[in-house]
Amino acid sequence: ETGGLTRRALIERGLIIAGVGLLGIGAWRFITGGVSSATAPVAKVIQHYKKKIVPPPVPNYGDIHPAPFLSAEVTSNNQYYVVSKNLFSDPTVDSGGWHLTVDGDVDHPFTLSYDQLLALPMQKQYESMMCISNEVGGEYMSSALWEGVRLKDLLERVGVKPGAVKIVFYATDDYSDSIHLDKALEPTTLLAVRMNGATLPQNHGFPVRMLVPGIYGMKHCKWLTHIQVVTQDYQGYWQTRGWSDPAPIRMTARIDTPLIGSTVSVNKTTYIGGVAFSGNKGISEVDISLDGGDSWQIATLKRPLSNLTWVLWEYPWQPTSSGSKTLIARAVDMEGNVQDPQVEPPAPDGSSGYHTITVSVV
């Protein structure tokens, strides 16, 4: 939305991002100008920034009014964001000939067919996902109901040997990435086979993709074929091009409505609304500034579907004067950490800054 980009323009930039993947961070900085889409915070925002609130705020849960352009709690499969390294076409995998191998520094390596994987115990969870290339206020963030097998169960079956430090994922399209063993053993790290009640779509990694809550989407490997336990560090496709390896999601709050540059009526209620997300840390508060950061108002939150999803929020605003108005959103997670106001570009660790828009009051 910000920086002169429409919602649709941001989605269409997926192809640009795929091309950047071939060249690395230098290309990203050249194409984007090396800056976040957030408006640079004024000095007073930085000056009064508190990194943490103790104790954490008690969430202000309540009902949310339907509003144009406000995101749905669950993103439909055909609207869910897609970013790929593949410039021309993604893999099309025949589940009948597909196999998953789990091996490496283990006691009992094994291979599963698709039907054998589907026969294993499944877990359902609502989870939101965000691409590390998402700019502040950007659209590369979505939420869905996922169903799959816990990676922890497969690792217990294979018998991880002492000294293992990472789990490496390999995909049909020669993509690879890795996560640390402790992350792999978390009960919410899944091999997903279903999305919003349907078989995993091809463009989202059919037959199987990884789900790793709390870290950016590049770690959620699609078209998975091989899981390897290793005793040394591993740098995957994006890491060898300069992007973060730990890749923890940076907290963000996005203003969905009103749209940037839109017109609202003086002395009439306009519902400011959007989403806030902090990976697997949850959201305890969203604050809105109506005066460029001089003061902050607490928004109403809709109770989230899980602690792994984004939170919908709204604030009823009745402007009493006409003119150009600057709206800013920030979030606080369940641990009391306050969103970082410092503007940083997506590369290499994910973007930061406060989503800021300007509207006209008439």
Each domain of the chain, given as residue ranges in start order, spans 32-73+248-361, 99-241
| Contact of 282 with 307, CB cutoff 8 Å | yes
Over 70: is that where the pLDDT of 222 sits?
yes
Over 70: is that where the pLDDT of 6 sits?
no
**pLDDT, tens digit, for every residue of 89-137?**
999 999 999 999 999 999 999 999 999 999 999 999 999 999 999 999 9
Tokens of 66: 């339907």
* Across 39-65, average pLDDT: 84
Interatomic CA distance for residues 118 and 77, integer angstroms? 20
Interatomic CA distance for residues 154 and 294, integer angstroms? 52
User: In one letter, which amino acid is 227?
Assistant: I
Dihedral angle computed from the Cα positions of residues 197, 79, 151 and 234, in that order, rounded to the nearest 10 degrees: 170
Over 90: is that where the pLDDT of 28 sits?
no
Sign of the Cα pseudo-torsion (143, 273, 315, 252, in order)? positive
Tell which residue, 311, 327, 220, 312, has the closest CA to residue 270.
327
Per-residue pLDDT at 4: 33
**pLDDT, tens digit, for every residue of 286-327?**
999 998 888 999 999 999 999 999 999 999 999 999 999 999
Over 60: is that where the pLDDT of 14 sits?
no
* Across 325-341, average pLDDT: 96
Interatomic CA distance for residues 84 and 141, integer angstroms? 14
Q: Quick one: DSSP state of residue 354?
A: -
Per-residue pLDDT at 343: 92
Over 70: is that where the pLDDT of 31 sits?
no
Per-residue pLDDT at 327: 96
Q: 32-73+248-361 has which fold?
A: Immunoglobulin-like (2.60.40)
| Contact of 81 with 11, CB cutoff 8 Å | yes
The yes-or-no answer to whether 32-73+248-361 and 99-241 have a common fold is no
| Contact of 228 with 103, CB cutoff 8 Å | yes
Angle subtended at Cα 136 by Cα 135 and Cα 142, rounded to the nearest 5 degrees: 75
Per-residue pLDDT at 45: 79
CATH homologous superfamily of domain 99-241? Oxidoreductase, molybdopterin-binding domain (3.90.420.10)
| Contact of 248 with 280, CB cutoff 8 Å | no
| Contact of 226 with 170, CB cutoff 8 Å | yes
Which residues have a Cβ under 8 Å from the Cβ of 214 and sit 6 or more positions away? 183, 248, 249, 279, 280, 281, 308
| Residues facing 143 on adjacent strands | 128
Over 80: is that where the pLDDT of 62 sits?
yes
| Contact of 284 with 333, CB cutoff 8 Å | yes
**pLDDT, tens digit, for every residue of 242-261?**
999 999 999 999 999 999 99
**pLDDT, tens digit, for every residue of 174-208?**
999 999 999 999 999 999 999 999 999 999 999 99
Q: What whole-number percentage of the chain has pLDDT above 70?
A: 88
Interatomic CA distance for residues 204 and 193, integer angstroms? 10
Burial of 271 (0-12, 13-18, 19+ CB in 10 A): middle
* Across 160-164, average pLDDT: 98
Neighbours of 323 (CB within 10 A): 9
